[in-house]
Structure 1
Amino acid sequence: MGMVSEFKEFIAKGNVVDLAVGVVIGAAFGKIVTALVEGIVMPSISLLSGGVSFKDWKHVITPAVMDPATGKEKVAEVAIKYGDFIQTCIDFLLIAIVIFLFIKVYNRMRKPAEAPADAPPSEEVLLLREIRDELKK
């Protein structure tokens, strides 16, 4: 029965719930940023690059081989698709910047930790101080 009670205590602390909420919100936020990058940022960059989609940027190592009789691809091309990688890096950077700004605002809004009030020393501490002072004499 000890394991069950420990698990209940672990769940009741709230850390697990906070983590679950953070994961769900993070996943939703990731989708928002991906939509922003794919729908707004990358098309803008695409205009600067002559209308080529960013995802289409690649270095072809071996071109595809077509079957002349059917017109279908016989052997797929081998290419390094660096455009997709760059787009994913931009996604990551935007998410990291927004999370950084969010944490910065959150930390400013959070109340500073109050300093504990100076409590009078306990009797043991007073007694030890007296002994110390007597020994110094």
Structure 2
Amino acid sequence: MGLFHEFRQFTMRGSAIDMGVGVVLGAALSSFIDSLVRDILLPPVGLLYSKMNIENLYISLNGRTYSSLAEAQEAGVATINYGLFISATIRFLIILFVVFLVVRQINRWKKPHQHPLESMTKKECPYCCLSIPNKAKICPHCSSKLEKKQKEENNAPRWRIN
């Protein structure tokens, strides 16, 4: 019962659910990005380079010249397919940029108190000079109570130890 309970808690955490949603969206987005790169972005780039198909760029390791990558592969020749690598790199960068935009927008929608970095910011305990969480009311190192004084003329918060 304990193992099942732990597994259920793990799967119901926000991070595990977010990761699952991200994997599903990434798989769905991948075919869309593949089509965008292969069918929309690479043909104009190939047109700039004398009407060549970028995915058809390769180096034959046996020294012979073939009219296409498919012909070289049919002949069983070992090739370095740098055109496919360029295409995969472009797809990766587009996917990375789209994921960045999605995460950026989600972070904008979150309420300020839900932002994960806010709870991770640190301040220094005025008594023991060690780093403590920003919202700490008692120092976990020296057990001093920290109270925020009223704002003074310079509007800087002051801390006192009880």
Is 1:56 matched with 2:45?
no
Percent identity of equivalent pairs: 32
Which residue is 1:129 aligned to?
A: none
With structure 1 as the length reference, what TM-score do the two structures score?
0.67
74 and 22 in structure 1: CA distance in 2 versus 1, 3 angstrom threshold: closer
Give, in angstroms, the shift of residue 55 of structure 1.
0.9
**Does structure 2 retain, via aligned residues, the 8 Å contact 1:60–1:79?**
yes
Give, in angstroms, the shift of residue 54 of structure 1.
0.8
Give, in angstroms, the shift of residue 75 of structure 1.
4.9
Which residue is 1:70 aligned to?
A: none
Distance in 1 of aligned mates of 2:15 and 2:105: 22
Distance in 2 of aligned mates of 1:32 and 1:13: 29
Q: State the aligned residue count.
A: 116
Give, in angstroms, the shift of residue 39 of structure 1.
0.8
Which residue is 2:104 aligned to?
A: 104
SS at match of 1:50: coil
Larger radius of gyration: 1
Give, in angstroms, the shift of residue 64 of structure 1.
7.5
- Counterpart residue identity of residue 28, structure 2: A
**Does structure 2 retain, via aligned residues, the 8 Å contact 1:42–1:54?**
yes
Which residue is 2:90 aligned to?
A: 90
5 and 57 in structure 1: CA distance in 2 versus 1, 3 angstrom threshold: same
- Counterpart residue identity of residue 22, structure 1: G
Structure richer in helix, relative to its length: 1
Distance in 2 of aligned mates of 1:26 and 1:110: 22
With structure 2 as the length reference, what TM-score do the two structures score?
0.58
12 and 81 in structure 1: CA distance in 2 versus 1, 3 angstrom threshold: closer
Distance in 1 of aligned mates of 2:108 and 2:84: 36
Give, in angstroms, the shift of residue 20 of structure 1.
1.7
RMSD in angstroms over aligned alpha carbons?
3.4
Higher relative contact order, chain-length normalized (CA < 8 Å, sep 6+): 1
- Counterpart residue identity of residue 95, structure 1: I
Give, in angstroms, the shift of residue 43 of structure 1.
0.8
Gaps of 5+ in 2: 67-72, 119-134, 139-144, 146-160
Distance in 1 of aligned mates of 2:106 and 2:5: 34
Which residue is 1:128 aligned to?
A: none
Is 1:10 matched with 2:14?
no
SS at match of 2:61: strand
